[in-house]
Amino acid sequence: MSATGSGSADAGGPVSVQAEAIVFGFPPAPVALSVLRRASSWRIGGAARTLAIFVVAAPFAALVPPHAPWAIGALGLGGILASRRLKERFTLLGVEGACPKCAEPLAVKAGRLRSPHPVSCEACHHQAALRFPEAALGDGPASAKGLGGLG
Ligand SMILES: [Zn+2]
């Protein structure tokens, strides 16, 4: 029982997805995305934890005048962050490829994967879009899987 990994509860490691970087007016450049598939337990658990933190923090925020706006703000922010976590089915860890315009390597911050995913080139400051076939990510919505605990 010597776990070598980081002890993540997610199934499997990051997967590599072929994509292309698109900048208007330039030919698309092939890139490889490193994508982590998130288990629904990760999303729901993370959202619940986020919400719990803000629910706990809200009364303390309300101690500061003018009281109510802080509490409402804390709860609202918690709700926004929690719903973001719920929607994060895939996390983009990184991108390997070159900017279509200036051929400098592209870099992204890790975060929720969007389709297409925006990335701005640090060298030429052009906004590129990373397009990929969503089928390459594997399973779509977890509609078939049991989410019976919700509702
Ligand atoms: Zn560039």
Q: Identify whether residues 76 and 60 lie together within a single domain.
A: yes
Rounded Cα gap, residues 16 and 57, in angstroms: 39
Q: Identify whether residues 45 and 106 lie together within a single domain.
A: no
What's the gap in Å between 99 CA and the centre of ligand 1?
Answer: 5
Taking the whole predicted model, whether its pTM rises above 0.85 is answered as: no
What's the gap in Å between 135 CA and the centre of ligand 1?
Answer: 28
Answer whether residue 54 is part of any domain. Answer: yes
Summarised one tens digit per residue, pLDDT across range 2-55 is 444 444 445 578 999 999 999 989 999 999 999 999 999 999 999 999 999 999
Q: Identify whether residues 20 and 32 lie together within a single domain.
A: yes
Domain that holds residue 126: 13-38+89-137
* Bridge partners, residue 17, by sequence: 33
pLDDT at 134: 83
What's the gap in Å between 23 CA and the centre of ligand 1?
Answer: 9
Q: Show the tokens assigned to 8.
A: 């993540």
